[in-house]
Amino acid sequence: MQNLNDRLASYLDQVRNLEAENNQLEHLIEEWHRKHGQSGTPKDYSSYYDEIDKLSHELVDAVAESNKMLLDIDNTKMAANDFKMKYETEAGLLQSVEADLQGLRPLLDKLTLEKSDLEMEYESLQEELSHLKKNHSEVKNSMQHQSGGDVTVEVDSKPGEDLKKRLDDLRHEYEQIIQQNRREVEQWYEAKMEESRQQEKSSDQEIGTGSKEVMELSQQYQTLEIELQSQISLLQSLQNNLNDTEGRYNMQLQQIVSLVEPLEHELASIKYEIQNQSQEYQTLLGIKTHLEGEINQYRQLLEEGKHLAAYIGQGGGGSSGGSSGGGRSSGGMSYGGSSRGGGSGGGQSPGGMSYGGSSRGGGSGGQQSPGGMSYGGSSRGGGSGGGQSPGGISQGGSSRGGGSGGGQSPGGISQGGSSRGGGQSPGGISQGGSSRGGGSGGQQSPGGMSYGGSSRGGSGGQQSPGGISQGGSSRGGGSGGGQSPGGISQGESSRGGGSGGQQSPGGMSYGGSSSGGRQSPGGISQGGSSRGGRQSPGGISQGGSSRGGGSGGQQSPGRISQGGSSGGSGGHYQSSPSSQSRPSLCHSHSSTQSQSGSYEEQDYSPTY
């Protein structure tokens, strides 16, 4: 118990050490982050920032001046283009006017011809008039000459027509005709000229409207072109600034990434170490929990041992029998002797411990022990081992012929010794005995320890979900102890083959071998071979049988020592004086079965 307490204290110290290491690692991580933060700070470039800002401002001003000059050049080009368009417009107007003039020239020629015709007609009429005047003057003169001869001729005739009047009438008539023709020509000319003027005026208005629209559109075009150029220059400057900013920030980002990558790797490694330490901590915590459960079980066993020690102290003296077994002892310890022929071993012991002797012929070992411990002896012929033990420890002896081993033990330790193994033990330790023919040793123990006996043919102990599963050895083959998910799995040795102890995910696995159990400094050591069990300083030491001779179980300073018998000579050892204050039980079995569950053939010749 002290060793278990020491182990628990060592585990708690280990947990504290791991927590301290974890805190130390966290402190180192924080220091490393602080150091790295101080060493990883960029250099002070503030002295260069003013010059950079000045140069950037100068660059921006130069870019703005260049953009302004480009805008002036563009404006000049657009003004030149505007004047060119105006020139082309005026040239078009000139061509249209010249075309109109070319269209009016035939009309002018026609009118000129008509005018010349009229002038010629007028001249001809003037000549005719002058000729008529001349003829008239000649006729008049001739008439005057004729009348100058004093010849009076009276002619009775009508008065002649007045030629002058007639000529005047003709002149007047022709003049009217000329005037009328002139008026008609002038009216036609004026109408044509007015019509051409109206057409020219309308065309001038259309040309003016078109020129105004062209001017407005050209101005809008110039404005839009200027705005477009300004936007393009602004976009280029912004794009350049963006590229510069992206380049600068990409360089800074690369520097930061180069600084962050090793930090991430180191952080990942630290997280991995912390995770491993956390897993180890959880594993140790699980082991601590299981050890606390075992400590509670061992504490209960110690309390029961104290009660048994009290009962033993209250009893008087023991009586040991001879060949026919021990007599009845109502208040102490009864050790029954061995019997070759038959008969019972130890008698009934109502209030103490009953050790039944062995019997070669037959008969039962130990009888009922209502309030203590009943150790049944072995029987070669047959019969039952230990009887029912309602409130203590019932250990049935071995049986070569058959019959059941230990009966049901509701509240203690039941160790069966027959071919069928131990019965079900709901709340204690079930240890199944050996079996020559086959079959399993100990059965399932849902809430305590299951000690499976040995088997020549089949497997040893079965699964123990919540306690300690100790599988016996197997001569033919198969595995020793089964899987124990929540406790301690101790597999015994195997002569033919197969593995010893199986995997125990949450506890301790002790695999036995042909040479017996190994040393267990802080746990349970059960040896199952010919050499016997090794020393167990702090646990349960159950020694196997020995063919040749020698002692079965070794000395157990702090717990229960159950030594197997020996074909040659054997015996049991009392606990050491240093452990007399603790309750320790020591008994020996027959040579047929060892307490660890391994089965050895013994020489059954009498020994002296």
Q: CA 289, CA 558: separation in Å to the nearest integer? A: 22
Q: How confident is the model at residue 154 (pLDDT cuts 50, 70, 90)?
A: low
Q: Give the start-to-end residue ranges of the domains of the chain.
A: 1-19+62-105+180-311
What's the pLDDT band for 321 if we cut at 50, 70, 90? very low
pTM tops 0.85, yes or no: no
**pLDDT at residue 283, as a whole number:** 93
Query: When comparing pLDDT for 110 and 431, which is higher?
Result: 110
Bigger pLDDT: 370 vs 159: 159
Contacts of 394 (CB under 8 A, 6+ apart): 369, 373, 374, 376, 386, 387, 388, 406, 407, 409, 412, 413, 414, 415
Question: pLDDT, tens digit, for every residue of 371-416?
Answer: 334 343 333 433 333 333 333 333 433 334 333 333 333 333 333 3
Which pLDDT does position 198 carry in this prediction? 87
Give the end-to-end CA distance of the chain in Å, rounded to a whole number: 39
Nearest to 587 by CA among 380, 395, 425: 395
The pair of structure tokens assigned to 213 is 């629209």
Reading the block at residue 242, the tokens are 């963006």
Looking at the predicted structure, is the pLDDT value of residue 218 above 50? yes
Residue 35: band (very low, low, confident or very high) from pLDDT cuts 50, 70, 90? confident
| pLDDT score of 208 | 83
Residue 564: CB atoms within 10 A of its CB come to: 29
CA distances from 503 to 205, 483, 484, 520 (A): 113, 6, 7, 17
pLDDT in tens, 71-106: 999 899 999 999 999 999 999 899 988 988 888 888
